[in-house]
Amino acid sequence: MKGFFALLFLIALAFLIWPYTAVYRLDQALQTNDQQMLSEMIDLASIREQIKRKLNKNVQSTIGEVSNSFIDWLQNGIQRMGADAVEHMVDNQWVVTQLRSHNRQSEQGGILDRMTYAFFDGPDRLLLRIGDLDDNPVHAHLSLQGLQWRITAVYN
């Protein structure tokens, strides 16, 4: 019986550590500018969908409160590009730029040194906060999709 509980404990511990290994891999991909790894870790369809859901007040979104600059960015894009603005504006490079926005060297570097929060927001979702609360931080959600943790929402 002790062995069974020890096994359950190890499985639970592994599950708790697993998303943080994905955060480390994301940081390494950002530092080395590994576009293939970044594209594997970014779920553009989910990110776009969450932004669209946030725009529609009648639909629930996993995105929390957003900053005025984020709203202004969206409104300007919609005015310029119309209904397809999110598809045109949100791509892998935009996600990478957002993740690096609090980095002193925005063209390179990772997120670990600027991350101020990383904890579970649900059993299959990890919420990251990059930057200080008083400095318009970027939030990113990593969600478990199959056997891979991927970025499914980015906002500030």
On whether the CB atoms of residues 88 and 81 are closer than 8 A, the answer is yes
Read off the tokens for 4. Answer: 């069974």
pLDDT digits (tens, 9 = 90+) for 4-19: 888 889 888 888 899 9
The one-letter code for the residue type at 11 is: I
Q: Identify the band that residue 79 occupies on the pLDDT scale cut at 50, 70 and 90.
A: confident
pLDDT category, 57, cuts 50, 70, 90?
Answer: low
Q: CA 83, 100, 117, 26 torsion: positive or negative?
A: positive
What torsion do the CA atoms of 29, 109, 66, 80 make, to the nearest 10 degrees? -90
Decide if pLDDT at 126 tops 70: yes
- Contact yes or no for 147/44 (Cβ under 8 A): no
For a pLDDT cut of 90, what percent of the chain falls above it? 50
